[in-house]
Structure 1
Amino acid sequence: MKNIVKKHLLQGKTETYLYRIFYYDCPPCDKNIYHPFLQRNINLKKSDLYTWMNTFLNELKSKRKFALRMGRLSSNDTGYIIKPEKMKALCANKIIFSYITEDDFRLDIKQKTMDMKLGTDIASITLKKQVDQIILIAGDSDFVPAAKLARREGVDFILDQMGQTINDDLNEHIDGIRSKIKYSIPKEQ
């Protein structure tokens, strides 16, 4: 992540000033989740990803110029679901259920409060005139109102969309798209 930020800070041969890196995430899920294909509970707290994510988040807390913004995970909407492509194939009778494997399922966890925290931070640093440019590295487009406010207040709003396609309404309310690394988007099977 540090390298991506550094690449964004380099403007030609000069480096621009970094106000702060805001990082938005949720703590990893520590629940026992029933896996319908395996027909048993999976203890996510015992996973390598859980351990890695906690280590990563704790490391970020100690970094200079980092502001860690933690949301929460939805307690009701968590579970394993069949990947959309496989569900379409099943419903279209292109495959039968006996062809489904464990890899055709994915964990579906919803994050809460992240968009609100992002929007509040953008509004706050914009209205306090703490920055003249915001570079948002994000793969979704749930922040049109915040981008619109920043631009109305004179902030140069750049998006690194992480290789994702963005909505037309978002494209209308940013000052440009700039990716500093080549993103590889994994395709779900």
Structure 2
Amino acid sequence: MANRVAIFIDGAYLDYVLKEEFKSARIDYRALSEQLAGDSDILRTYYYHCLPHQGNPPTRQESDRYSTQRRFFNTLDRLPRYTVRLGRLAFRGVDENGRPRYEQKRVDILLGVDMVQLAAKQVIQDAVLVAGDSDFIPAITAAKSEGVVIRLFHGQRPHSDLWQEADERTQFTQGFVDAVSMSLTS
């Protein structure tokens, strides 16, 4: 019998990797989950992100971006064995060019709580994590203490402590991204 795996995707991180390393490749998220799982049985894919900022009142561009993201998250949430969990954005001032800066809140903790709960209940044997920062290390440590094998999928520069804490590590390649990309006729 194959191991059961839960897949945890930091959506903002995946967006960043796809944009910066793979020219904004469009992904078939069902195929992505299957590739990430390998030979394991998928319990569920958890996708974490935030809706974009909207002013009060929102500009036309903000409304359009918000509606597009909402539709995307709703589409993901309807895929078999997919769950979308949304955090929120917090305003963090402006950058040197006067553009507003926002920070995701609750996303990392939502992911960590889900991972630890599934590990503690012994529902999974493996956890696939698509992420790049060290905020997930406490959850990884707790899941590993319950016997869960942590498989990290990452871009070119994951945090070194995160990389070290994972049991298995796979850097995204062009071949992997090509295998899960949507065809132009989709």
User: Common fold, TM-score beyond 0.5?
Assistant: yes
Of the three residues 159, 165, 169, the one matched with 1:166 is 159
SS at match of 2:35: helix
Which residue is 1:100 aligned to? none
Matched, 1:17 2:10: no
SS at match of 1:53: helix
Superposed, 1:68-147 pairs within 5 Å as: 68-74=84-90, 76-77=91-92, 80-82=94-96, 107-147=100-140
What's the offset of the Cα at 1:112?
0.9
How many residues get paired?
148
Quote the Cα distance in structure 1 between the aligned partners of 2:173 and 2:37: 13
Of the three residues 53, 62, 65, the one matched with 2:78 is 62
Q: Deviations 1:77-115 (Å, cap 9, x if unpaired)?
A: 2x5423xxxxxxxxxxxxxxxxxxxxx665521111111
Quote the Cα distance in structure 2 between the aligned partners of 1:175 and 1:105: 42
Indicate if the aligned counterparts of 2:126 and 2:150 stay in contact, CA closer than 8 A. Answer: yes
> Which residue identity lines up with residue 68 of structure 1 in the other structure?
V
Indicate if the aligned counterparts of 2:37 and 2:128 stay in contact, CA closer than 8 A. Answer: no
Larger radius of gyration between Structure 1 and Structure 2: 1
Q: Which ranges of structure 2 fall in alignment gaps of 5 or more residues?
A: 1-28, 178-186
Matched, 1:2 2:19: no
SS at match of 1:23: strand
Which residue is 1:153 aligned to? 146
TM-score under structure 2 length normalisation: 0.69
TM-score under structure 1 length normalisation: 0.68
What's the offset of the Cα at 1:134?
0.3
Q: Deviations 1:42-98 (Å, cap 9, x if unpaired)?
A: 665234x33321110111222220111111111x42x5423xxxxxxxxxxxxxxxx
Indicate if the aligned counterparts of 1:132 and 1:156 stay in contact, CA closer than 8 A. Answer: yes
Percent identity for Structure 1 against Structure 2: 27
Greater relative contact order structure (CA < 8 Å, 6+ sep): 2
Q: Taking structure 1 as reference, are residues 32 and 164 closer, same or farther at Cα in structure 2, changes over 3 Å only?
A: farther
Quote the Cα distance in structure 2 between the aligned partners of 1:57 and 1:149: 29
> Which residue identity lines up with residue 45 of structure 1 in the other structure?
E
Which residue is 1:178 aligned to? 170
Alignment root-mean-square deviation, CA: 2.6
Q: Which ranges of structure 1 fall in alignment gaps of 5 or more residues?
A: 34-40, 83-103, 185-189
